[in-house]
Amino acid sequence: MKPIFDSPGRNAVVSLREVTPDNLEQIIGLQVAPDQEVFVEPNAVSLAEAFLHKAHTWVRAIYADERPVGFLMLKSSPEPAVYGLWRLMVDYRFQGAAFGSRAVEQVIEHVRKQPGARRISLFCIPQDGHPGPFYERLGFVYTTGEVEEGELRMHLDL
């Protein structure tokens, strides 16, 4: 019997690709698990926000081999040389295969190549199941005392 859903394996090649008219519908269709919806906006909302801030955002679809598995959005800050990982989501069907961490590692390398880049920051909602431990495994640390709209700031110095 053939599996209903063919998922890429853990050894799939992870790449970051532009969101284009050809993959837009697939990217919008990706979803996190219902209990994770509090932590990240739907991709359609993220893409609309990226459009409104297009001079300062870098959006990419996360692919595992040839299958879109997630989405991310990076924002440059008014503060020179600081970048914000504004959004990161991996579809619930593909979580646990290290696609998200491999994508963030590529984002880190992308930012390191930017002139004068010093830091990547992000915010986490401090609720059960939040992604803070995931980011800590990638080297991010909590920025002491920095809270914005109830979210804790984390950063990675480059």
What's residue 78's pLDDT?
A: 62
Domain annotation for the chain: domains and CATH numbers: 14-157 (3.40.630.30)
**Sign of the C-alpha dihedral, residues 25, 138, 11, 96?**
negative
What's residue 2's pLDDT?
A: 42
CA–CA distance from 157 to each of 23, 74, 95 (Å)? 33, 16, 26
**DSSP per-residue string spanning 96-130:** TSSHHHHHHHHHHHHHHTSTT--EEEEEE--STT-
Whole-angstrom distance, CA of residue 102 vs CA of residue 150: 28
Average pLDDT of adjacent 10-residue blocks, the chain of 158 residues: 62 96 97 92 96 93 97 84 94 95 97 92 86 94 76 91
User: Which of these, 110, 64, 51, lies nearest to 90 by C-alpha position?
Assistant: 64
Whole-angstrom distance, CA of residue 25 vs CA of residue 39: 22
Distance between terminal CA atoms of the chain?
49
C-beta separation of 57 from 75 below 8 A: yes
pTM of the model: 0.90
Grouping H, G, I as helix, E, B as strand and the rest as coil, residue 50 is helix
* Complete edge-to-edge strand list for the sheet that includes strand 119-124: 14-17, 57-64, 67-76, 82-90, 119-124, 151-157, 141-148
